[in-house]
Amino acid sequence: MLEIKGKVNTAICYAKVIEDDAIKQIRTMCDYGLTEGSKIRIMPDVHAGAGCTIGTTMIVTDKVCPNVVGVDIGCGMYTVQLKEKELDFKKIDEVCHYIPSGRDVWEENNSDFDLERLRCYKSLKNPDRLEKSMGTLGSGNHFIEIDQASNGTYYLIIHSGSRNLGKQVAEYYQQVAIELHMGKEEYAAKKAEIIKTYKSTGKSKEIQTALVELKKEYESKILDIPNSLCWLYGQAFKDYLHDIEICQEFARKSREKMAQIILERTGMTAEESFHTIHNYIDTEEMILRKGAIAAHKGEKVLIPVNMRDGSILAIGKGNDEWNQSAPHGAGRLMSRSKARETVDIEEYKKSMNGIYTTSVNECTLDEAPMAYKSLEDIIDVVSESVDIVEVMKPVFNFKAS
């Protein structure tokens, strides 16, 4: 256990090994008011991310920084237990290729999901395209996989998020947070007061000059908070929580739609299913989890390791000290750029022997098993938060390439 102290708060980190960049990122976050009054717990699979630290969990009170949740709001795993004991992997792979992945979306909108419920709806770009992204996989570390348990049971696993919708919502509200700290509300109030006062005192001709000076004053303001750590409060905070729930719902339904397509087109049958989400805010508990999952007492969870080693099926312990949370995966061993530079394609292909996949190529080098920490690394550190039921082995894997 490591204490990382900032000027405002202290984070407790459960990683055995943590990179310097991640420590710096966490300490910087704890230097600012967005962490005031929060309990911050960092999961063992921690690593530095783009603007926020993967593996962060924190209690949300009356403020939140959208950038800490990140752009892939609601991203997570959907695990479906299958009835069948024998599977046609070639047919499953054909269906996976049928589902749009990468940047592709469906040609038609086959969803009845109502994006107009979003309070930031009018600020969205290409809402029609966003609607067509429901039920699409995306790229990066998103995947469709089938793992097999020791008793022969197969599990369909889909890892995906809210696509470009989450990105747009996150970026919109982070800009709102920046404007709040820049004093935009105060600027609007002063602007209205100038117009009212000058009109009532017969100085209408001087209004424009006064407004230009006011704007200069506003635009010259220098924040003492990094843009990436500006937080929402007041009505903007409430609006964000409202919209993030909709994004999380979108991500859940998107995974379910992909599963439905796969089941219908292959004739497979689902017996039971559950979601394990890792980029979100639980608005009932008011816990933020970025690259971390809920692990309530008795809750079934799935923790993916890598393409070669499969996934951990586990039951949550409900550890309050850990913010009722657990790691969301093994964590990266090397950055995507480093993986592309150093991973040998032949070694990558060899590591995937015995697993049906058409996705092992130069385009997915950054997702190779050797780019991630090992199964042993994650098993050693999850015992405080979950009880492992078993480690399921992959038999099929698909990634956008």
- Of 37-41, 130-134, 188-192, 331-335, the one with minimum mean pLDDT is 331-335
Residue 323 per-residue DSSP state? T
What does the pLDDT read at residue 195?
Answer: 92
Task: Cite the active site residues.
Answer: 328
CA dist., res. 369 & res. 348, Å (int): 7
Mean of per-residue pLDDT scores for the chain: 94
The yes-or-no verdict on residue 401 having pLDDT over 80 is: no
Question: Which carries the bigger pLDDT value, residue 200 or residue 73?
Answer: 73
What does the pLDDT read at residue 221?
Answer: 82
Numbered residues of the known binding site for Mn(2+): 72, 142, 159
What does the pLDDT read at residue 8?
Answer: 98
Residues with Cβ within 8 Å of 293's Cβ and at least 6 positions away in sequence, in order, are 76, 276, 277, 278, 301, 303, 325, 326, 327, 328
Token pair in block for residue 162: 């809210």
Numbered residues of the known binding site: 72, 141-145, 159, 304-307, 311, 328-331
The per-residue pLDDT for range 169-183, each reduced to its tens digit, is 999 999 999 999 998
Boundaries of every domain in the chain: 67-173+228-398, 184-220
CA dist., res. 91 & res. 68, Å (int): 40
The per-residue pLDDT for range 324-361, each reduced to its tens digit, is 999 999 888 888 889 999 999 999 999 999 999 999 99
Overall fold of domain 67-173+228-398: tRNA-splicing ligase RtcB (3.90.1860)
- The Cβ of residue 37 has, within 10 Å, a number of other Cβ atoms equal to 12
Residues with Cβ within 8 Å of 218's Cβ and at least 6 positions away in sequence, in order, are 182, 183, 184, 187
The per-residue pLDDT for range 266-314, each reduced to its tens digit, is 999 999 999 999 999 999 999 999 999 999 999 999 999 999 999 999 9
218 pLDDT band, cuts 50/70/90, is confident
β-sheet with 10-13: strand ranges across: 2-5, 10-13, 40-48, 53-59, 287-290, 279-282
Token pair in block for residue 34: 């967005």
Numbered residues of the known binding site for GMP: 141-145, 304-307, 311, 328-331
Question: Which carries the bigger pLDDT value, residue 316 or residue 204?
Answer: 316
Residue 130 vs residues 163, 206, 246, 250: alpha-carbon distances, Å: 8, 46, 13, 10
